[in-house]
Structure 1
């Protein structure tokens, strides 16, 4: 019998799990290389067969949404592994509740032994009572680090130091002090021109159209060009939008003031981001050079307020997510009709970018409601036999959840995509520093760029499908309730309709001019023959 009280006969197939995050420091004792050497040596000494290595480099331990961890769990589910070998329990994770569920419940239920070398922990041994306390201490460490980082960032914000990843459009980070903003020689004049046009009474949509006509790249494209980053996937179609102009016209950063702390995370273990109320944000005045005088800024605000329509109650678009543009496939978005209290729907591409992207596809909201309700009543005028057939069809057409293999493939593609981004950034740095010749740089850039485009195409095909529950379509009584169709509701629309394609209206001239517009309703069932 060995020191751990485990029989010599059983053969163990080990997964070597390694993790390192920025919170853990970058010392040699915690490096991936050191972890790998330690675990390989331990496995060899104890006669364990190494199945694979699972490395989450740069991943936080406060959540378990990590590529290598999920791949290891998938291999456990396939019964390829019966031993998890790691440096210490904090490598598994710093969320003591989830870490405890794995060590106390999941691993034993799947016949997996777990060894944390530095902690002296072996799930096959008798001394495992202190593990929950170690998990609590590991989470406390992460919580303490999070509080210290938040405190340091808040102190910087109160001192007027800029802590964002990217400088606002019109500014750049000071090369000598990245917490200080300097006017950008290229984009600062654009900001000044935007405010001048707004002060002259021009609307955001007119300003956006003027900038597009001049060939001025919008902020996202300009940032990618200036920082040699990967271009947005649809950068050739991107232009200035009225919403971008509106945000800039209300941003006091152009007065030389710094407003930060606009959002906060729900918890150090959560990815949920909450908006802070304006009074809870950190405002520090005169931290950098202004681009716009106060009088011009105030004049722009007055123009904006005078154009803002009065609130007319809450409008709920029942067709949100269902009504699509028949030409470009984008969602239809609500829009005013120019008549008080009346709403219409337009192509969201047209609404954001204008005619260069798509035509309006405008349809009155009431007209669409009447057309859909009328057709639904025809489609749901069913006999009892037909209702049984429709119910069966709808249950059969519910999409299945994405498979484990597809989920793993998506995770692997996303990991490779992040790695390619790092590689491309390093290529630019090596080229600028003279380590790569122009020809070699261009060859590598073309090669990795081609792979990156292929990955993007694969991910778009493998996008997870939404899994519906069959409990949503309960029984024939549920169907009979809807078949009466007294009025349109979102439950009714989403139960029976997959999508509604709205075409561009055509004006027909004749004795009396009128509009003709084609609407295609794609149902979740086929109406049976009587």
Structure 2
């Protein structure tokens, strides 16, 4: 925006407004900002204006009136700084019938401002133009028509697997194929680090603090250094100031598994550009489209962990890798981490809802950390032996006997879904054709209304079927996918010699802790381990895979033995 520094009188000052949007690029070079400027300057000078002030909005739709250049021009017009406004045509002012009508019929006359729309042959100094309201109406219809065609086009592209948005942090567009994403190695390293730290037990705030400490650029700051433009204003903050919300967003993106997820958001109408979160059942997911940054197994483990409570710490700030995994077998409450005041080396958990601590649970469910470590490591070793020595029995125990039938059912549903999507796409094309036939006069309004109603009813019915099928297929795929992942993870820890936080997070969902009981004069502590994705696993007793023998001296003269369910 340029404005003369000399104070000219209002009578010789004209505001020249230029606007270009993506839709207007379809009209050709004559609509470019440069050509608009030349045309308006030439006409304004011919009409006697010597002080010309340009206002412009480049790449902004005329449907919205909230455009920075336009808003500033109106503000200065209200201050009486110009006598005339020049535009190439009325659609440059906007494609909103009501708002542009208010400008031309109320605002400009009330402020004694001359309006010249060059291509529309409108000059209010020469009298009222009766066609102006009709042109405004057509301009809005044009925007609505373009929006409708774009929605149909986006629907077709989205259902074909083309990414509908910008690649997330960690990916960039392939220079040879903008419809394909490739890994941005520098950013991808940060993404992998975020996932790795999460599996090691760090929270989002801790991860953000560590990245800031290590002077790692935030995604927006990183894109700026690479010359990558992204929408959104964004708050001004230090380039290495990470927020926990940014970490949460990175941890939520399934795209890092190599997938494309389309239709995650939508807008209500062509006039309202605000994006609204779509229900997950309306998303369209294409797996393994581009190279994965995060292994699917790792992503699934992180999603399972994200809903858990934060790792509880003791008063001195210490936390334990079992925190958030242990639950009371009787009341379902979480167990809290403590250490013995007299002997800090003794670390233990007990029920947070114990009535002795003003809760309602009748027992403490006390369990020592060293006891837990031995039992869980022993059970994981037992499980890995089961997987390596008796593979068929292990797969049956994990997946069950119904997998084959479920796979057949899923294939039939996928075939049906493909047929429904093809018909839905065909209806989009049919509707577009009858719409064009109606506009051109080949199809009467009455006939168009009947045909479009029939197509819309069929498409509505298809939409419900497609939504239901996608939901069923996704559930079946998830079950199959997660069990396969679990089998792979178990094999990954075949040679494990030490229990680590990552091992716990990847393999175990929760551990139910029962209160120790004295049976036949012997104290026994029962635990029930629930593994991620598959729940509890029963190892056949006929197999030579002995239960871990673990005992711990909980206090003088009292020995507690591990007793599985």
The TM-score with structure 1 as length reference comes to: 0.49
Largest Rg, 1 or 2: 2
The TM-score with structure 2 as length reference comes to: 0.47
